[in-house]
Amino acid sequence: MEFLTKTKTSDQEETITSPELNSSSKEKSKIETNLNDGEDSTTSKEWGYDLYPERRSEGFKPKWSRVLLGLEGHENIDKIKCERNVYWCVKNSPLVKLMMGALKSSGCPIDLRRHISCEVCDTTVTGGYDPVLNQIVVCQNMARKQGMVQGVLTHEMIHMFDYCNNELDFRNIDHLACTEIRAANLAHCSFMSAMMQGDASLFNIKQTHQNCVKSKALASVLAVRNVSREAAIEAVERVFPKCYNDLEPIGRRIRRNSPDQHRAYMEGPLYGYDVY
């Protein structure tokens, strides 16, 4: 079993970074030991494992009824298409290339075969990050377009960056809330997305963006932690000022349909990142 962070992505992108997130190596080893020993279904649901069937020991098994309807049974073809989209993003997306350069410069280079996996997921998610295996999951059955795959990769690479640089502890709800705030801030929220989820206001653009980030971060925390909505809101509000203002490694909030992605990529070397 592994920890995975839920991603809700669209065709847009933006960037994030987290504050000083500290967890002891002893805690990490305990977590990995527990995961390797296996966990029951209650723990599985508590941490969101049930959203990623291929991460469970039994793996994904197509249902004959859905195969006959054409809804399942073509997983191998979907995986090939997904891997092609991942490769396209790695070669062409300014944000993905920037994130890969930042990870490499931080001592955590990405090997496509080792660190990115296309898998069948629950239909409520499009991607996830597994810190135990240090792998990004792209949901091949949900993220079918290059724009969506780009959003998933950027979002999850932010979690990977936080885990690499700040000893992110996914069992700490404040750490989890912080990295989700950063991912929503840098990879997703724009005025258009805020308007679609009901957070938009023409009179206060800044507050609109913050509300969008809070809503997305809250949804992600609730997806992977079996906590009350009140506890999740408190965690998001607790860490929001610091995490919202942490823009590393992208350096700016990306506006939709703007040259911000390319500007962020060109500015990467100024921060010491070995961009591709």
CA atoms of 104 and 106, how far apart (whole Å): 5
Radius of gyration of the chain (CA): 18
Beta strands at 116-119 and 135-139: parallel, antiparallel or unpaired: parallel
Catalytic residues: 156
CA atoms of 6 and 8, how far apart (whole Å): 7
pLDDT at 17: 33
Q: What is the pLDDT of residues 48-70, one digit of tens each?
A: 557 887 776 666 776 767 666 66
Confidence bin at 275 (pLDDT 50/70/90): confident
Neighbours of 192 (CB within 10 A): 14
Q: What is the pLDDT of residues 70-126, one digit of tens each?
A: 677 678 899 999 999 999 999 999 999 999 999 999 999 999 999 999 999 888 889
Confidence bin at 10 (pLDDT 50/70/90): very low
Q: With a cut of 80, say whether residue 46 has pLDDT above it.
A: no
CA atoms of 113 and 10, how far apart (whole Å): 24
pLDDT at 208: 80
Helix axis angle for 146-166 and 94-105, nearest 10°, is: 20
- CA-nearest of 120, 107, 17 to 77 is 120
Q: Are the C-beta atoms of 151 and 13 separated by less than 8 Å? A: yes
Read off the pTM.
0.77
pLDDT at 226: 84
Q: What is the pLDDT of residues 132-183, one digit of tens each?
A: 889 999 999 999 999 999 999 999 999 999 999 987 888 899 999 999 999 9
